[in-house]
């Protein structure tokens, strides 16, 4: 790559640079987007692209912890919650996701 600049006196300065890209040979894996459906829901929500051992916490919009629930077959049962909007926090070893869900 060549780079040149001219100062106020009209003098031209320049450099030639070269870059080398190295590969580590380690394949990269893009993080899959966590999905929650149906949303809004009447009680059972399904989670996609999450660690089966993830911990699930449900918060109200004031930030208060409503309950901790167990993930069973990528499903979470929130039938016992009142209608409203909640934040689902999904905690796995390598990331934390938060998703807003509406309970009808």
The total number of residues shown for the chain amounts to: 104
Number of domains in the chain: 1
Range of the domain at 85: 35-104
Q: Would residue 5 count as lying in a domain?
A: no
pLDDT one digit per residue (tens) for the chain, 104 residues: 555 555 666 655 555 555 556 666 655 545 578 899 999 999 999 999 989 899 999 999 999 999 999 888 999 999 999 999 999 999 988 889 999 999 99
Domain CATH code at residue 54: 2.60.40.10
Query: 3-class SS at 8?
Result: coil
Closest to 46 (Cα-Cα) out of 78, 11, 4: 78
58 lies in some domain: yes
Computed on alpha carbons and rounded to an integer, the radius of gyration of the chain in Å comes to 25
Query: Has residue 78 been placed in a domain?
Result: yes
- Residue 24 within a domain: no
Decide if 68 is inside a domain.
Answer: yes
As a whole number of angstroms, the distance between CA 32 and CA 76 comes to: 20
């Amino acid at each position: 790559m060549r780079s040149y600049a001219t100062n106020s006196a009209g003098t031209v300065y320049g450099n030639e640079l070269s870059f080398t890209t190295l590969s580590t040979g380690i394949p990269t894996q893009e993080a899959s987007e966590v999905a929650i459906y149906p949303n809004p829901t009447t009680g059972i929500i399904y989670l996609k692209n999450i660690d089966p051992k993830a911990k699930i916490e449900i918060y109200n919009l004031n930030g208060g912890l409503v309950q901790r629930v167990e993930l069973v077959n990528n499903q979470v049962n929130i039938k016992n919650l009142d209608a409203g909007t909640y934040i689902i926090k999904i905690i796995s070893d390598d990331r934390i996701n938060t998703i807003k869900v509406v309970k009808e």
